[in-house]
Chain A
Amino acid sequence: MATIHVNDSSAFGVLEAGQAENSANQIAVPMALRINGKEHSLRIDPRTTLLDCIREAVALTGTKKGCDHGQCGACTVHVNGRRVLSCLSLALLHDGEEITTVEGLGTTEAMHPMQAAFLACDAYQCGYCTSGQIMSAVALLNEPCGPDDAAVKELMSGNICRCGAYANIVAAIQQVRKRA
């Protein structure tokens, strides 16, 4: 699959403001996105965030939309192994990169250790923030982080849990870190 070449601005057909709103097909551009090891050939509106692309175009709905403004962390995914907020990024920025969503971590039968620890520690209530929490927690394992709970809390502060399952989330993460 060839990646898009965007040096040539004419490839996208410049539209006047206002012309675009009801001509979605006209402004869609081709791109390839690699998610969980699988290549997806897509046509998307340039405005599509990585989050909306993952959920709507690729139909992987494990990644959640909370605030849509980078304030809650529910949309956390990995790009080339690093955690980012998919709501504050455009899908078009990521051709050729390795995107990992919660669906790429493990399966119900073979869970990632962090998923198993969240289950074992009851680290959620409603579950809406959980995929973002788990994606953040898995990335944290490879980041500079002190050994104590306070260090984990600080590095997890970008993931809000409205149910308040924080104590068990920290416990789950520490369980995985101690076993590693």
Chain B
Amino acid sequence: MHIFEFIRPADQTAAIATAAQAKTAQQGADVRFLCGGTTLIDLMKLNVETPARVLDINRLPLDKIETTSDGGLKIGATVRNSDLANDERVQRDYAVLSQAILSGASGQIRNMATTAGNLLQRTRCVYFRDTAMACNKRETGTGCSAITGSNRTLAILGTSDHCIATNPSDMCVAMSALEAIIHVQGPKGTRAIPFGDFHLLPRDTPHRETVLEPGDLITHVTLPPPVTGSKQVYLKLRDRASYEFALASAAVVMNVDDGNVGYIRIALGGVGTKPWRSPEAEAALSGKAADAANFRQAAEAALRDAKPQSKNKFKIELAKRCLVHVLQTAANG
């Protein structure tokens, strides 16, 4: 691990002012916010992340879950994943979020990992984690070892010739389906970023993973008021039953009225370079009968643009069946 200066900012303003001196935004930056540490400390040990300054934001007052005036939920940036998943409001009104978080990592890691940290969680692509290998995300212009390498677990949606790294988060898949808003405070003020606009596709700049700018501090996430009567399901498929990243996962928030699909939101995990909302699948289902044939049609629509690599073609059918199963489970109520 490279040496760094450890700073505990007195407040948000101090944290933002110091972070604003960074050359780039959070991920891979020379000034890094540190909270749970489950991604950052790991990557610092591997010399993948080498911040010169580490800002401990654990003690900033961003650890509350509060009901908003419109009946939604405000989730602080440093709320631990276990506290969020076990919050009774989340379990009652946003069950898909609770299910998604509890399907990820382990009890210890969920006790450490935070809301904002999970939003910024970095890929588990083995080539990204190994400084001996070429990786455009870690070191711009070096190439992508994964495209010609061991790519079984990597992405089939949203890839580019420069990067095929999977976004590993479960929480983000649920937040995508719930249309969460990410609230940021930066040197120029505050702004609210719709979930779908937060993560970036790799294109030819895979080192840029979000729209955050230097100094931007995620303060909280808001969830809109719960969708009345909705069925919410998250399913995660993986190589072992627990403590493993998704090969494919799906989150669904759905209302069925008189046998027809009403409100429908669909997002996929384990297959995309970012948390993968699927408006195509939603459009294919909206207003249609909630039956097996239409669920399959929606799954076909979700994966229509999938581009497999040499060792992960199986993910296309796996993701389709995952989504069909989730839709069926939600429809069965």
Q: How far is the CB of A88 from chain B (nearest CB, A)?
A: 5
Residue contact A158 to B3, C-beta cutoff 8 Å: no
Residue A84 contacts which of B8, B10, B53, B108 (CB distance < 8 angstroms)? Answer: B108
**Would you call B70 an interface residue if the criterion is a C-beta within 8 Å of the partner chain's C-beta atoms?**
no
**Would you call B14 an interface residue if the criterion is a C-beta within 8 Å of the partner chain's C-beta atoms?**
yes
Within 8 A of B (CB), among A2-17: 6-7, 9, 12, 14-15, 17
**Would you call A109 an interface residue if the criterion is a C-beta within 8 Å of the partner chain's C-beta atoms?**
no
Complex: chain A residue closest to B113, CB-CB = A88
Residue contact B108 to A136, C-beta cutoff 8 Å: yes
Q: How far is the CB of B153 from chain A (nearest CB, A)?
A: 15
Residue contact A92 to B6, C-beta cutoff 8 Å: yes
**Would you call A119 an interface residue if the criterion is a C-beta within 8 Å of the partner chain's C-beta atoms?**
no
Residue contact B106 to A46, C-beta cutoff 8 Å: no
**Would you call B41 an interface residue if the criterion is a C-beta within 8 Å of the partner chain's C-beta atoms?**
yes
Residue contact B56 to A27, C-beta cutoff 8 Å: no
The interface centre, meaning the residue of A9, A88, A136, A157 with most chain B CB atoms within 10 A of its CB, is A88
Residue contact A89 to B41, C-beta cutoff 8 Å: yes
Flag the segment in A33-41, A53-61, A99-107, A138-146 that touches B: A138-146
Residue contact B107 to A85, C-beta cutoff 8 Å: no
Residue contact B41 to A46, C-beta cutoff 8 Å: no
The interface centre, meaning the residue of B7, B37, B106 with most chain A CB atoms within 10 A of its CB, is B106
Q: Which residues of B contact A17 (CB under 8 A)?
A: 2-3, 50, 52
Compute how far the CA of A61 lies from the CA of B4 in the bound complex, rounded to whole angstroms. 27
Compute how far the CA of A73 lies from the CA of B5 in the bound complex, rounded to whole angstroms. 28
Compute how far the CA of A92 lies from the CA of B56 in the bound complex, rounded to whole angstroms. 9
Within 8 A of A (CB), among B249-298: none
Complex: chain B residue closest to A150, CB-CB = B241
Residue contact A9 to B107, C-beta cutoff 8 Å: no
Residue contact A49 to B41, C-beta cutoff 8 Å: yes
Q: Which residues of A contact B38 (CB under 8 A)?
A: 70, 85, 88
Q: How far is the CB of B281 from chain A (nearest CB, A)?
A: 29
Residue contact A90 to B3, C-beta cutoff 8 Å: no
Q: Which residues of B contact A159 (CB under 8 A)?
A: 106
| Number of A interface residues in the complex (CB < 8 A) | 41
Compute how far the CA of A143 lies from the CA of B243 in the bound complex, rounded to whole angstroms. 17
Residue contact A9 to B5, C-beta cutoff 8 Å: yes
**Would you call B131 an interface residue if the criterion is a C-beta within 8 Å of the partner chain's C-beta atoms?**
no
Residue contact B6 to A90, C-beta cutoff 8 Å: yes
Within 8 A of A (CB), among B5-41: 5-10, 14, 18, 34, 36-38, 41
The interface centre, meaning the residue of A21, A89, A136 with most chain B CB atoms within 10 A of its CB, is A89
Residue contact A89 to B45, C-beta cutoff 8 Å: no
| Known contacts A70-B38, A88-B42, A89-B112; is-contact A154 B3 (Cβ 8 Å) | no
Residue B14 contacts which of A7, A68, A89, A157 (CB distance < 8 angstroms)? Answer: A7
Residue contact A85 to B3, C-beta cutoff 8 Å: no
Q: How far is the CB of B62 from chain A (nearest CB, A)?
A: 15
Residue contact A68 to B3, C-beta cutoff 8 Å: no
Residue contact A6 to B8, C-beta cutoff 8 Å: yes
Q: Which residues of A contact B106 (CB under 8 A)?
A: 73, 157-159
Residue contact A136 to B107, C-beta cutoff 8 Å: yes
Residue contact B107 to A69, C-beta cutoff 8 Å: no
**Would you call A82 an interface residue if the criterion is a C-beta within 8 Å of the partner chain's C-beta atoms?**
yes
Compute how far the CA of A177 lies from the CA of B242 in the bound complex, rounded to whole angstroms. 22
Residue contact B108 to A85, C-beta cutoff 8 Å: yes
**Would you call A120 an interface residue if the criterion is a C-beta within 8 Å of the partner chain's C-beta atoms?**
no
Residue contact B108 to A158, C-beta cutoff 8 Å: yes
Q: Which residues of A contact B112 (CB under 8 A)?
A: 84-85, 88-89
The interface centre, meaning the residue of B3, B8, B14 with most chain A CB atoms within 10 A of its CB, is B3
Residue contact B7 to A73, C-beta cutoff 8 Å: no
Q: Which residues of A contact B2 (CB under 8 A)?
A: 17, 20
Residue contact A83 to B107, C-beta cutoff 8 Å: yes
**Would you call A171 an interface residue if the criterion is a C-beta within 8 Å of the partner chain's C-beta atoms?**
no
Within 8 A of B (CB), among A66-104: 68-70, 73, 76, 82-85, 88-90, 92-93
| Cross-chain pairs A/B with CB under 8 angstroms, 23 sampled | A6-B7, A9-B5, A9-B7, A17-B52, A19-B3, A20-B3, A27-B3, A29-B6, A46-B6, A47-B1, A47-B3, A49-B41, A69-B42, A70-B42, A73-B106, A76-B108, A88-B41, A90-B6, A90-B37, A93-B56, A153-B242, A154-B242, A158-B243
